[in-house]
Structure 1
Amino acid sequence: AEAADHARDTEARMADILQAQAEMQGRMGAIAEVFGARQAELTQSLGQRLDAMTGRLGQTMAEQTKSTHESLAKLQERLAVIDTAQGNIQSLAGQVVQLQAILSNKQTRGAFGQS
């Protein structure tokens, strides 16, 4: 009789353990589903953010490239003006040297003054 009671207690404990194990498996399955869904949402969210950031970066780079191109074009125009001015200055310097040569020669200076 004692052995039969012990066997029933053991069977009852086994049934409780099996039920607890089944409940744990169900909970673990539910947790796995939740984590899977969260991971999918996170992956989608990160993908969207990365796409948005890539778009903004591309737009910013395009704007910077355009701005740099415009700045270089303006710089080129200014350098052309400076080159022209430098040519004018060199021409003027040559004329000043010629005038100085004329004015330093007394005979030429006298003839220049009388004409």
Structure 2
Amino acid sequence: MTISAGKRLSARDRLLAASDELFYTEGIHSVGIDRVLERANVAKGSLYYNFTGGKDELVEAYLDNRHGVWKATVEAGVSKQTDPAQRILAVFDTLGELLRSRTTAAAHS
């Protein structure tokens, strides 16, 4: 999820997009909240307005979103197959595509 200059995202969405970029590429413990705020271009008050638990709640939302995206992607890959054996293989094929796309994106950022 890249923070774009096109349609203006809400502060919450910008925080989630920034955390997705930074936490995924550098690790949750390596990224301080000030870097997330800077990347999202929001004030600290916006963080606590949207995530009253601060970084811990932001991390929880980040992980929930990441899981949701991965789950939906795998389910979509599996649903394209009708043969039971191909459905099982589709799980691994889809996960491989997800990992390759994130690794490629991280290498170019």
TM-score in same-fold range (> 0.5): no
Task: Tell me which interval the TM-score lies in, with the shorter structure as reference length.
Answer: under 0.3
Larger of the two Rg values belongs to structure: 1
Given the two structures, how large is their TM-score scaled by the length of structure 1?
0.26
Which structure's residues are more often helix, by fraction?
Answer: 1
Structure showing greater relative contact order (alpha-carbon pairs closer than 8 Å, 6 or more residues apart): 2
